[in-house]
Structure 1
């Protein structure tokens, strides 16, 4: 039997400054079709803090969550950093830099990633493994700072990126319990989106889609099939039916993406997904749990609820999380 996993506390750093998508400077360089696509994503504003990089965003969220639970950074036992898409320096360690900035001198520290916005899932799997391996380990802090990999925030034809930091304090018990995790990947799409950088200055970095038809049709069809099969398996393992699920949330790419997910699975997403898409844009690996907590804060879920969190990345990767919230938060659940 696998080890239990729960979110004891969670915090997000969401910059107060927002940029209207209509005012993005890169829109002037787009052709009419690209400009129309950008304005049709269902994103009105994105969060932005030009004074902070990915590590600064993650650090702000980490300090918030540790202050919330009254945990001194010096007493933190493990720190897992979800790597950024474009580190500030090659051959340096983002993970140990965050350790130093946070003051987590005693923590076991390393980074995970490689799956775009799905990268939060291997971070959760890693935290579960650490807790299973060491009975004296009480908590693992997972952090990520989301920052666009290029000067442009618009990723044609996918989404518009906002800035954010996320920090999840994980343990064996807590108010948000992870009952099951499913993850699948297909390496055939590993470079569907990429940013060539070695031969050009940062100001000229642009994200390229190798095949927009493959993204819009081939990957969409595969995603529909994968999500349906994964959801069936997830519920079967838990001995649940769709009637036992109180809500669904997913990552925020576009209004069309939310509608696609709803149609593919025959579900209705929690209203928090569209609200956060509209106001924050795409926050990478930080989207899906922010949407869950927003829904909880706004009373969009019952007091005791089971929720499925859906994450898709065009690398391509897919993940589902079966979450229980509400009563019996100190009860241990085994994955």
Structure 2
């Protein structure tokens, strides 16, 4: 039985500035095929943070989460930072910079990453491990700032990146209980998407796909098989059937990505996923919890119901999370 883990508070910082799809600065540089794919993603606009970097976005969301719970910096026992894809400085530590900005000076602090969007999963595994290992630890803050790694926000042929900050205050009890998590990776795709940067100025950075056939076909088939098997594993080991899941949530890549996931699993995603894709684009590791909480706010999920959160990254990594809405006492985890 997994150790108790719950989200006591969740907060997001979404920049006020909006850029409509037709106003993207890079639009004029795209090929006709790239433009066609871009306009078929299902994204209408993104939110852009011109004046803030990844760490600033994470800090803004973290302050909101602490304010929501009435906690101060001294109450945070651990800070886990989901690392940004393109740090502002090499060798320096954006992780301890966030610690300093928040003033959580006594918090055990470290970063996790390397799995793209799925990097949220190891952060949650680590948080659960800390809470299980140390009975004096009560509050673990997991934070991430998501910005495009390059000046070009369109990642052909995958998605369009918007900006956001996310903070999750984790404990043993809370509004959303994390019942179970599963994750797998395949290192043969480690550089399928990459940005060459050492020999060129930042204005020329561009994310490239090493092999679009591998992405569109081989990885697609493997992803279909992986998430299907992971869902069976997740449900079987928790004594559940597909019918026991009240809702499914996915990351926001594209309308085609939603259709792929729904077809692969024989499910229907909650409406909040498509609405957030339309309004915000892809928010990296912040997508799935943002979609979940939007679903809760809109009553697409009710108290006590369970949902499965699906996350896929082309590095390649796959993770599924089983959660339940509603406060609990921490002792009734299946």
TM over 0.5: yes
The aligned counterpart of 1:198 is: 198
**Contact 2:79 2:110 survives alignment (8 Å):** yes
TM-score normalized with structure 1 length:
0.98
Cα displacement (A) at 1:21: 1.4
Q: Deviations over 1:71-118 (max 9, x none)?
A: 111331100000000000000111100000111111010000100000
Cα displacement (A) at 1:16: 1.6
Cα displacement (A) at 1:301: 1.1
Q: Tell me, which stretches of 5 or more residues in structure 1 are unaligned?
A: none
The aligned counterpart of 2:189 is: 189
The aligned counterpart of 1:58 is: 58
For 2:237, what is the secondary structure of its paired residue?
helix
In the alignment, the residues of structure 2 paired with residue 65 and residue 302 of structure 1 have an alpha-carbon distance, to the nearest angstrom, of 22
The answer to whether structure 1 residue 323 and structure 2 residue 298 are counterparts is no
Alignment RMSD (CA, Å)? 1.0
**Contact 2:75 2:139 survives alignment (8 Å):** no
- Deviating beyond 2 angstroms after TM superposition, the runs of 4 or more aligned structure 1 residues are 328-335
The aligned counterpart of 2:45 is: 45
The answer to whether structure 1 residue 77 and structure 2 residue 77 are counterparts is yes
Q: Tell me, which stretches of 5 or more residues in structure 2 are unaligned?
A: none
For 1:194, what is the secondary structure of its paired residue?
strand
In the alignment, the residues of structure 1 paired with residue 94 and residue 120 of structure 2 have an alpha-carbon distance, to the nearest angstrom, of 16
Cα displacement (A) at 1:334: 4.8
**Contact 1:148 1:161 survives alignment (8 Å):** yes
- Structure 1 pair 333/91, CA: closer, same or farther in 2 (3 Å)? farther
TM-score normalized with structure 2 length:
0.98
For 1:43, what is the secondary structure of its paired residue?
coil
In the alignment, the residues of structure 2 paired with residue 68 and residue 329 of structure 1 have an alpha-carbon distance, to the nearest angstrom, of 19
Total equivalences in the alignment = 334
Q: Deviations over 1:14-44 (max 9, x none)?
A: 1121111111111101111111111110000
In the alignment, the residues of structure 2 paired with residue 270 and residue 334 of structure 1 have an alpha-carbon distance, to the nearest angstrom, of 24
Cα displacement (A) at 1:262: 0.3
In the alignment, the residues of structure 2 paired with residue 319 and residue 21 of structure 1 have an alpha-carbon distance, to the nearest angstrom, of 30
Cα displacement (A) at 1:139: 1.0
